[in-house]
Structure 1
Amino acid sequence: MVAKKILVVDNNDLCLKFMDRELSNLGHEVRTASDALIALDILESYLPDVMFADMVMPVIDGAKLCRIIRGMEKFSHTRLFIVSAIAAEEVIDMKGSGADAYIQKGPYQEMRQELLSALEFKGSGSETVGLPRPPNSKVLYPREVTRELLSIKRHSDIILNRMDEGIIEVNADDRMVYVNPAAGRIIGRPEERLLGQELATIFSERDRKLVRHVLMTRAPETFGQVPLSVNHFLVTLRIFPIDEETPSRLVLLKDITERTNAERALRESEKRYRHVVENVGIGMMVIQDECVQFVNSTVCRFLGAETEDFLSLTDPFEYLHPNDRRRAAEGYRQQTCGDKRTWMDTFRVLSADGHLRWLEATGVYSDWEGRPASIIFFSDVTEGKRVEKEKKSLEEQLHHAQKMESIGTLTSGVAHNFRNILAGVSIDSQLMRLLYPAEQRLQEIVDRIDVSLKRGARLIEDLMHFSHNTHQPNAESINLTDIIKETYRIISSSVDKRMTIRIDVPDFLPIKADQAKMSQVLMNLCTNARDAMESSGCLRIAAQAENGRVMVNVTDTGHGMTRAVQAKCFDPFFTTKELGKGTGLGLSTTYGIIKEIGGDIRLYSMPGKGTTFTISLPLARPDIFSSNTETREVRAGHGECILIVDDDPDILRPLGQFLERLQYDVHMVTGGQEALDRYSDILPDIVLLDRNMPIMDGLTCAGKLLEQDAFAKIILFSGYDQDGPNGLDDEAMACFQKYLTKPFDMVELSTVLAECLTGEPASCANLE
């Protein structure tokens, strides 16, 4: 391959170094830039054959940079490639950017192949599609948060592009890095020809020195009294910082050419003046001796009044908002009685149709019919205020999204540790059930432990659901009657003996839902009912099919709820229980689950009279229902060798004891490297592998095990991922026989082991 001159532009230091190393190793001459401005500086003296530009960069993105370069004749033969990490969420306008093709960011091995393909690319320079994907390339899936933020960005761009005021962003060196269309029209050049240029150069020679001085002082300033010259326009200039931490500043250009011409016309001829002011889109009012002498039609339109209404006013500012009148009168007084000849302010007015409008007022001290007067010009800035408010709202939404992302990360870590704890307790309790089947009192204790374990597991699911705002139900045809009876069995073992529980259900109520989630719904409602009755009372669960719906009533005779509590009971984290006795997630989770499957939930309650929750669910077709009546029993092995890999000894030891009790030959290791070292010695029939371990995680370990033995059978388990197996792509899932989430049921584990080893349903064990 012939050595080429290559320019790489990326604000990500790791990507920059990676591409520099890979391309340099191929013998190419590579130069790098961490942003578009540095790239433009390099291009003043460097003519590359190929340029790679990151799509998303601060200040000037890759698409804009390509448009700038494509507009320069000397770079007409340079190949331009956009490198994008958001190709799954946003369609890149290849034709509009001027780029030849794009490369998707991803694993470095795939990027290395795409870089090679780009260097061999023979397109015509007008290609609008990306390079062909390598055969082993992974499919990109859209990220919801990224897609929502890109939507917000596009919405903001639309607003900025449609504003009448020119908006320019300059960096710390006072070079333009953003120019909206309105500013481009004023300056007379498109954004591509302005980016990277010094701001002061757009002004006339007379004004450049003044603008440079203000920019150098880095103090917010407004040129509202003395207009500046840009191209053929006269503009007011406002400069202010974006925030305290960013050196960049915003520059607002407002075209006041028409207003200035109107003022000049006023001095030349009253007739010409009247013609101008009646047809210009700026309101005008003349106040003399504290009385309104003249208003133009624009002011009348702003306020929905007639000219005569203004001329008869005793207070010239009566049409302003009551809270703004005093400030307007003070500005007028300072102008007429003091040294202040010009003043500017913004006021609120209530138009005749009842809408609040914002008017920017500029008062000029002048003559009217030979006597001093104040001429006030009004501009409707209602839209600008709306945009400002919307921008603030968008910023708050972004902050909220970032906060929820942080909470989600924290919650995932807590859930991982909590699930490991529950897994250890769960294994010990089920081992106890297996070792002492004849001890009735001990079995009752284990039943209570299992109830608490299920509550803990549900709490983890609730926290993950609300912190990540994600839920992927496993909808299937199920018999709701079976779930109600199972809930009755569990709740009966955890209530006071003085409390009565009754169920009234038919044998068959088919619905389509996630079985685990429906169990969670009923447990939440029954647990709340139990807590509401304290030590005595009656809990009744009734269900029936009615008009194509399944109606479920959960009724208690507890203390009931006030209207205020009823209004908030489905809100996340709302609870009336004492600190430490409730999370406030039960009913809100229940509400979300019911709504997700097309159902409805209502409550009826009176203080002292108890509460009834009524659930309405779609009735499923009986012909697609398949009931699972298989008895859940532990399934034994036949001396097969199992290797358990987990860094937590509180899970490793009891799990090993349990499987040894099931007649398996068990070997235990605490890390991925130890598993690799032992594998060839023991050649296990199956590997139980924890996903989240220090030094070498489960996915990495599984890959290395499959390199040793392509036929290795691996079951992956984890207590970290809120999405479980849905968090892995199809290629990764193909490496495993099964994915289990901690704390897992030992009956399920024994069944999974038996079926993975034999390939057929296993027989139940006799472990006496």
Structure 2
Amino acid sequence: MIHSEEDVEMNDLRQKIIGLTETSHRKSYYPQLKEQINELSIAMDALQESENKYRTLVENVNIGIIRTEPWEGGRIIQANPALCKMLGFENEDELLNYPVEGIYLHPEDRAELMDKLKQLGKIKDHKIKFKVRDGSTILCSLTLSAQYDSDGNIKFVDGVAEDITEKEQKAEALRQANNKLNLLSSITRHDIVNQVMVLEGYLLLLAEKVKDPEQLELIQRMKGNIRSIDKHIMFTKDYQEIGIHAPEWVNLRAALKDAMVSLDNSLVDIHIESGSYMIFTDPMVRKVFYNLGNNVVKHSRAEHLYITTDEQDDQLLVVFQDDGIGIEDKKRLFKKGSSSSGYGLFLSKEILSITGIGIREIGASGEGARFEIIFPQGQYKSVQ
């Protein structure tokens, strides 16, 4: 029960504020206020759930996550367990407020990264050496992104670090093994070629002395076998080079022109009418283009070869179309050692398959051959 005037005034004020008195014009707003409070409560619960999921993810991933101050002498603000373990610390508390430069093998590297980050706003997959607490070093792939305040200044830096030390060691060991194998293969191939040349020379001398037709026929067959051996040796050289170099973006039109320049265009008119594209492929793609053009010159009896491009169904087709006799038997077309194309088409398919590029022949017999090289989405882009 209210006894004083002051109590009456306070109660009246309270009722007006929350809109509960019958006379208050704010009473009608109470349901809306209640609904807004409920919505806010739901949003807060969702935010808390999202934060819990984020924290669980950060704490359980196998890559290091770090947040630091951006300036020189800045400190580590946050680090997940994976980063602590990576750098030899027991827990986050030991790493917090640790100077950022202290985890770099070369502290000046951090200053260079910050300068670059100020210009770009993000640095992706930068290889950097970190110093572990016990004095050893690790090689990491580091991605950094800048977070800004309302004035556009960097307030802190978020980073993701992956320890790639073992991966790089294995990759280097594999490179060394491949280099040794390639060297052995090259030396062996060179020695075999020399012996084949000597053998061919002896056969030429023998052919000058032999008069019997049957014996001369046998010598000719042996010469054919020698040429076949030489062809196999050259195949091993070409096949050895597949996949040695990393795939790269190649200018399609320039690669086509480079490949066609060594062909005899006195026999076949070559028309390059491709669009302007960059293609992501093995650098040996030029050999693929050469093989396709060379087959037309040697086997098609065509007068014209048209090289065009066509985009359809999120794919880029690079089309080699001639006006020759076409290909009747296509069953062994891309098989190793198929009769007419030798190893060229087999090699071409192998080169393209490294980066998931397809090839097919869909020409009608008697109407010319039509080879289509199929670049999937993401492995080509139009350029001006």
TM-score, length-scaled by structure 1:
0.20
- Looking at secondary structure, tell me which structure has more helix per residue: 2
